[in-house]
Chains A and B, each alone.
Chain A
Amino acid sequence: MKKVFRPLITAASLALLLPSALPAAAVAADATRTGADAQRTTARPCSPDYVIERTLRGGGTWRMCWHDTRLEGLVLEDISFQPRGQAEPIRILHRAALAQIHVPYDNGTAEYYDLTEDELGAHVNPLRPKDCPGGALKQIRSVLATRGETVSGLCVTTQERGFAFHGDNYDLPRSVHGGNEAQQGQDLVVYTVNEAGHYHYINQWNFSDDGTITPKLGAAGNLSPDDFNAADGTGWPLGEGSKAYSTNHYHNVFWRLVFDPDTTPTSRIEQYETRQTGYSAKEPRTPLHKTTLKSVEKETGGLTDANAQRWWRIVSEQKNTDGHPRSWEIAHHNPTRYTGRPFTEKDIYFTEYKAGERYASDNRKSPELGRLEHVGQFVDGEKLTRPVVWVHVGYHHIPRDEDQAPMPVHWQSFQIVPRDVTAMNPLTPDHLRLPRYNGDGRHPAHHPPSDKGGK
């Protein structure tokens, strides 16, 4: 017999997948300890052509490597942020990419898995300079290429995002800073536009000068002309009268994030909830709230429940200069949770890192030909030592006349927000980088008299 069929993932096969990982790691750790800052900042795992590096107006520098895969499309690796004044970059993510776009139609006539059924990643649209304002276009492999194998499909640019902060520290004369302390924020923005059928998806990553990462997926293109088979309740009449009902559907987007904060994947997950616990004894009986911590030790799925105000953070082994563990908070809520499939039941999943667990659904097409079908099955109570975070953001698309044509872009996103990565706002101006602005503002030693009388 030519081939023997048996379960795909065994301990032995996993061991085969990770040869020499430990010795190599030891060497790398040594290099890191002995290396100068310069060496560390230049020792990227990719060549200069494939480094994305940008120092933003606020002084912080983002660095990462990029490549593409046929299903995921844009993959970002070795993502670090070096806040202004910080001697070294702070590693955040080992790898980040889309993990699925699941598009089920409400009347049951269609259910698409755009990454794995359509090789979304391989279908990169060429971009023109005006599609990448102020930025640079890079060549990326695409089956849509008409000449050669690549298109100018990766845009690396910057975008304004409005106020980064706006405040008044009272104890400095306004003449020092000419009014309020205020600064406009700027993002490094990286995107491709990939097509699946009639849809064009903008796979965009914003890296803000305050250390925040915003992965976002824009649904654009055109409504699928083949999915106009709905009726009242499962669609919306488009065009004159009510002859054609465009079918309602969901876009359930998944991202997969492999964190390695401070260059170690052995991070912890913490879950926080805030609930009302009662009322103060005195009038006017102010509601009281309490925030509680639960350590997430094992693989699990979670809900961004509005009542519990639940959120999670990935906690590094390293601390900031205030002695607080560095962490990154997943700022996330899932506005339209699709309950029809087991992998969409939760808004977020935490799984132990495993090769062969790559797509949130249709995972048997993973490079390792994984035995498991979806992220719901990846969660089986295993202890978390190298957690992988799967973020799910749904959107129920009820078409409207304005969706034709082309359709206005609809965004789905979440954020990865630094929490105690630096001791203060990484954008804090130098004249405010003083102990008295960091910490207990009531302490007299930290609070010299001001010309405004304080609060």
Chain B
Amino acid sequence: MRDARSAGAGKRRVVPPARRRAALWSLAGGAVLTAAATTVMVTGTVPLAATGAAGRPPAGGAPTSTALSPAPTADGRTGPGPWRDPLTSAEIERAQQLALAQDADLRTASENVERERGRPQYLGTDLAESPPSVGGAWERKVVVRFYDYSDNTLIHKTVDLLSQKVESSRTVRGVQPPPTPEEAREALALLLADPLGDGLRQDYAKATGGALTRVDQLRVHGWVYTPQGTQRGPLRACGTERCVQVSTRVPDDGPRIDASSYVINLSDRSVHRLRAMSGGPSS
């Protein structure tokens, strides 16, 4: 990882959350399930029939030939079918809905990177591994990943797309997956809103002759900043909190504008400069 020892003398500025607004996701059926299951880390199977959402066709987007069809065979798992196809957009959207429908806390109390309440930060959805079994049965489950900025937790929910059930929910603190493009853009926005962003603005002006005023003037790529060993100073919370670094470049194959000496703590929305520049985009 990037040299943690150089991270001592950053300047800490807390930027107030932008665009704060309460936003509830409208869910299929609009039902709210007050599942007590959210109080344990690994929850059991909660039939989604209780939410009125079970058996619905995937919401949103035109399902392709592989979206949730054909219907499961008698045992729900075997036989020819699209069980192991790449996920369709409709399935990914459906999996998010199912994952949230069961979790009232996540639907109401969580926050995304922009600090919108009731919207956990969506990180991604993957087709889950189908365990090897004698005779070769296959499953179609997905893992939906969220980050909750309200309490710095990473949440993985396993959803069975055939039964339309949330099968388990896992929560952990101190694990920081790579930032999404959305989070990287927010980090750049925080940097640009900070006096520490002056260097970036100057470099941009030098490279392009124009003024850098908006995030969308740059392509941004982010990665997680993880301090190593015992850490003092303003970045010591990184790891437990979600800190990222970004690299930027002018769109359409323009020049790189170096920003890798900054660390943006997305959890407390503060911006820091590493004492000595080291490291950069991965490998």
Contacts and interface: CB of A to CB of B under 8 A. Distances in A.
Contact of B133 (A25, A44, A198): A25
A16 B177 contact: no
Contacts of A227: 279-280, 283
Nearest to A7: B41
A114 B151 contact: no
Interface in A74-97: 75, 77-78, 91, 94-95
A9 B70 CA distance: 33
Contacts of A122: 124
Contacts of A28: 78, 135-137
Contacts of A3: 38-39, 41, 151, 153, 171
A3, A22, A78, most chain B CB atoms within 10 A: A3
Interface residues of B, number: 68
Given A109-B279, A197-B280, A224-B281, A23 B84 contact: no
A16 B81 contact: no
Chain A interface helix/strand/loop/mixed: mixed
Contacts of B127: 67, 69, 75
Of B38, B39, B168, B175, chain A has the most CB atoms within 10 Å of the CB of B175
Contacts of B94: none
Contacts of B86: 50, 66-68, 140-141
A21 interface: yes
- Which of A2, A4, A42, A264 gathers the greatest number of chain B CB atoms within 10 Å? A2
Contacts of A32: 135-136
B39 A4 contact: yes
A266 B128 contact: no
User: Chain A interface: which size bin?
Assistant: 35 or more
Interface string B82-115: 1111110100000000000000010001000000
Interface of B: 1-3, 38-42, 44-45, 65-66, 74-87, 89, 105, 109, 124, 126-138, 143, 151, 153-154, 156, 158, 167-168, 170-173, 175, 177-178, 181, 223-224, 260, 278-283
Given A2-B105, A31-B79, A141-B87, 6 more contacts: A16-B44, A47-B66, A94-B136, A116-B177, A226-B278, A265-B132
Interface of A: 1-6, 8, 10, 12-13, 16-29, 31-32, 42-47, 49-50, 65-71, 75, 77-78, 91, 94-95, 103, 109-112, 114, 116-119, 122, 140-141, 143, 149, 196-199, 224-227, 229, 249, 258, 260, 263-266, 353, 355, 358, 364-365, 367-369, 386
Q: Which 7 A-B pairs have the closest CB atoms?
A: A226-B280, A197-B282, A29-B135, A265-B132, A24-B137, A28-B135, A45-B138
